[in-house]
Amino acid sequence: MATVVVMPQLGNSVESCLIVSWAVSEGDVVAENSVLCEVETDKASMEVPSPAAGTVLKVLWAEGDDVPVKDPLLVLGEPGEDPGPALQVAGAAGHGPTTEVDTPARPSGEASYEETDHAGDSQDAPVETLEVADPAGDQSAVGGPADTTVPGYGSSPRARTLAASTSVDVRDIGSGTGPRGRVIERDVQAVLAAGPTTRAAARAGGSGRSDVVGTGIGGRATAADVRTTRTAVSAPPVSDDGDMGPSTTTPLRGIRKVIASRMMNSLASSAQLTYTTTAGAQGLLDLRKRLKTSDPSFGLNAVTIGDLVGFAAARTAARHTSHNAHLVDGVLTEFERVHMGFACDTPRGLLVPTVRNASLMGLAEFSQASKQLAADAIGGTIAPDLLQGATFTVSNLGGLGIESFTPLLNVPQTAILGVDAIFPRAVIHADGTAGAEQRIGLSLTADHRVIDGADAARFLSDLVAFLEAIDIAVLA
């Protein structure tokens, strides 16, 4: 009995996973629960175990491929068994760039791809399989080609939801990047980032293309613009005699591609303005020194400057609910509790773990929770659900010596705090003498649609007061 192993869904928002490496190849004999491959989502990485023992009959994808969830990964069976009938019954014939099955490609129906937009369990979700006992039997039992009630591959629910909320007509997008040209959420995000097009241009393939220069009303790209661009692109590249030296070309994949899309969407969908100030940091430095040498039973030895600032930011955001909010479709939702996301530098790129109920935690609990989340994110073991749901975010580049920067909103959040390095700054004392004092820079980016400049200034003023009295404020 052949078994078709499919790509598991690892989180609510995961539409596809990138194959990092294969642990098996065709012809290998594998045991149940042995590792088949390592995959990476836009949020985490994990190993895919084998659901059964058997021989690897067919590997359907190559390393580096971005595979939609629920799509077949490989086929297990008896040595010498033909994987073609199993793939045909599963509606997966022709799947993947490495497939070489001489059976006609037949769609599996919309239902199998609709599941890519629904919630799955977290990282511990079991590997799903499609088991085939009789390839000549009733194919409708596995949701295969017998299901013809849904025409084509259309668009995913998440794509339709985003399109509806941003006034984008998914019918104008044309072919998407999902399975069989299905329009998925990232296709709608690409359209939003690329700017407006006419319907004719969209159907001609102009949606989501930044290389199309619009000549229509309001800068919209027309069908003629798309045709002109295609002609220009199709011309052979012109080389010059200059020596550019060695270079490498790497397509954006996995988390890097997701970061690029989200950053563009952040700028295109919000009115961002950054406010900067500084706070006296001597109190932070003194308290950190005392905590480092405190009794280990208090659990405060590992508290860092970043922990103290994050703790202060969470408490301040709880008092300024317009900053601890989501803005979606013109509706502002303010939260009583602060679920604080924090930017984390990992080997895979930028991740934003979320400290749930950060505003209700004491300093020791907040520090421990942050460090555990950061360790899981860096190690690639963090659950995808812990990388979403934040209501306010902090990005700390102070440890890298940055004096000032402009953090980008993590939409739909309305505010994000950037934490800068501590530097000695010139100061004039009350007696008129000059001196220097340690100060920490703060950069608050807020969505001006709901947060006015005075509101942002009041937030920073309260945060500065909290930081400059940190030894007392942590007791509140």
Rounded CA separation 91/76 (Å): 16
Residue from 66, 448, 455, 462 carrying the catalytic annotation:
448
Closest CA to 59 of 25, 17, 32: 25
Q: List Cβ neighbours of 170 (8 Å cut-off, separation of 6 or more).
A: 155, 159, 160, 163, 183, 188
The HSE-up count of residue 468 (CA atoms within 13 Å, CB side) is: 14
Cross-strand bridge partners of residue 427:
435
345 part of the active site:
no
Rounded CA separation 82/100 (Å): 11
Residues written for the chain: 476
Rounded CA separation 21/23 (Å): 7
> Within 10 A of 434 (CB to CB), how many other CB atoms are there?
8
Reduced to 3 states, what is the DSSP secondary structure of residue 415?
strand
Residue from 134, 138, 169, 452 carrying the catalytic annotation:
452
- DSSP conformation letters of 416-454: EEEEEEEEEEEEE-TTS-EEEEEEEEEEEEEETTT--HH
Percent helix, strand, coil in the chain, to 5, is 35, 25, 45
- DSSP conformation letters of 340-381: EEE-EEETTEEE--EETTGGG--HHHHHHHHHHHHHHHHHT-
Distances (CA, A) of 130 to 26, 57, 71, 471: 19, 14, 10, 60
118 part of the active site:
no
Question: Both tokens of residue 199?
Answer: 């319907």
Closest CA to 441 of 408, 405, 387: 405
Element (H, E) at 311: helix 305-319
Question: Both tokens of residue 198?
Answer: 């006419």
* Positions marked catalytic: 448, 452
